[in-house]
């Protein structure tokens, strides 16, 4: 169970307390119990959304983009996969989705300037997320992606178009598409739009 200190720290890290962050706190608490805290790259998280929950998971579990053990897949799903490198343990958590539907409908029916009503409903959402059994909020299943490799440092090379340094694995040098030039992703995209 998270301490009030941990909850307060997550809120400060994220900037405000909201239902999305509370989902992430519940996930982070569960992962800490089931997998432990990430020491360096021991725990790996793959998130399929960029919503508020990810900040709580990042803060509590210790997975970060900089260490390479937080991977973002832009699928728009409230789904989160976790891996433990030492023993291969893994799971995928998916939000069941109907927990807050009635409160969201109430919120949608409020007048746009009813800030008091919106705040009351927001707090009801947070309380419901905190008080509902974990398995009623999330399904726990098998992962659908391979465990990401450990982070590697790649050399940087200059893009032949913009001149900026780019990780060599992100450059494209294709005799037909780029006329043999090393191009970064934005310059490649610009070139395609000109064709």
pLDDT digits (tens, 9 = 90+) for 5-27: 999 999 999 999 999 999 999 99
Kindly tell me if the per-residue pLDDT of 195 is higher than 70: no
Fold of 4-141: 60s Ribosomal Protein L30; Chain: A; (3.30.1330)
What Å distances lie between residue 60 and 43, 65, 75, 136, CA to CA? 12, 14, 23, 22
Instruction: Please state, for a pLDDT cut of 90, what percent of the chain lies above it.
Output: 68
- Sheet with 43-47, side-by-side order of all strands: 70-72, 43-47, 79-84, 90-95, 138-141
Q: Which residues pair with 92 in a beta bridge?
A: 81, 141
Q: Indicate the pTM of the whole model.
A: 0.82
Instruction: Please state, for a pLDDT cut of 70, what percent of the chain lies above it.
Output: 96
DSSP 164: -
Buried residues in 137-175 as b, exposed as e (16+ CB within 10 A)? bbeeeeeeeebbeeeeeeeebebbbeeeebeeeebbeee
Domains of the chain, residue spans: 4-141, 156-194
| Backbone phi, psi, residue 38, to 5° | -70, 115
């Amino acid at each position: 169970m998270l301490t009030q200190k941990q909850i307060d720290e997550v809120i400060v890290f994220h900037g405000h307390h909201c239902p999305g962050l509370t989902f992430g706190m519940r996930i982070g608490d569960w992962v800490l119990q089931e997998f432990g805290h990430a020491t360096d790259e021991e725990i790996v998280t793959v998130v399929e959304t960029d919503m508020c929950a990810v900040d709580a998971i990042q803060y509590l579990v210790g997975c970060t983009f900089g260490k390479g053990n937080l991977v973002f897949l832009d699928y728009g799903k409230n789904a989160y996969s976790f891996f433990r490198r030492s023993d291969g343990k893994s799971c995928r958590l998916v939000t069941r989705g109907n927990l807050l539907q009635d409160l969201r409908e109430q919120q949608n029916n409020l007048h746009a300037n009813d800030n008091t009503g919106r705040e009351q409903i927001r707090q009801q959402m947070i309380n419901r997320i905190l008080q509902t059994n974990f398995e009623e909020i999330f399904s726990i299943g098998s992962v659908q992606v391979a465990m990401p490799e450990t982070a590697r440092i790649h050399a940087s090379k200059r893009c032949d178009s913009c001149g900026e340094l780019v990780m060599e694995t992100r450059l494209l040098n294709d005799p037909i598409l780029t006329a043999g030039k090393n191009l970064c992703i934005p310059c490649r995209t610009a070139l395609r739009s000109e064709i």
